[in-house]
Amino acid sequence: MKTLPLLKIAAVVASLTLAAGVTAQTMASSDASTTESASAPSSSSESVGQHISDSTVTTKVKAALMTAKDVKSTHIHVKTRRGIVWLTGTVPTHDEKTRAQEVAAGVTGVHEVKNRLKVSGSE
């Protein structure tokens, strides 16, 4: 039973390490991408730097949700496009839905959160 928290911590550390490395590599390209509009681009118009930056934000949001004690993140899916984060999936309560949005909004690089989470249980 003690291995589950240890595995969670290891996953978070690995995710943050990967995110930090990718962020360092893409700082120059992310500066250029912030001047573009916030609409979702087609795959052909998305730069490699933007894709990596969005992947970094997604990883950071997933890690933040995983470590938040008041959010059960196992059924939350995260997608990022140009700094806009979409949360989809299910959570047990309305409070967790709200808290998941707050956690995601607090992550560096998140410009907006589209909360599409559904509440699966009753409060």
Q: Which of 115, 43, 33 is nearest to 79 (CA)?
A: 115
Tell me, yes or no, whether 35 lies in a domain.
Answer: no
pLDDT (tens digit, 9 = 90+) per residue, 69-114? 889 888 999 999 999 999 999 999 999 999 999 999 999 999 999 9
Tell me, yes or no, whether 14 lies in a domain.
Answer: yes
Range(s) of the domain holding residue 62: 3-30+47-119
Phi, psi of 89 (to 5 degrees): 120, -155
Tell me, yes or no, whether 38 lies in a domain.
Answer: no
Query: Are 90 and 60 spatial neighbours (Cβ–Cβ below 8 Å)?
Result: no
Confidence of residue 46 (pLDDT cuts 50, 70, 90): low
Tell me, yes or no, whether 17 lies in a domain.
Answer: yes
SS3 27: helix
- Domains contained in the chain, number: 1
Written as one string, the DSSP assignment of 46-95 is --HHHHHHHHHHHHHHHHHHHH-TT--GGGEEEEEETTEEEEEEEESSHH
Tell me, yes or no, whether 42 lies in a domain.
Answer: no
Query: Are 119 and 92 spatial neighbours (Cβ–Cβ below 8 Å)?
Result: yes
Tell me, yes or no, whether 61 lies in a domain.
Answer: yes
Full-prediction pTM beyond 0.75?
A: no
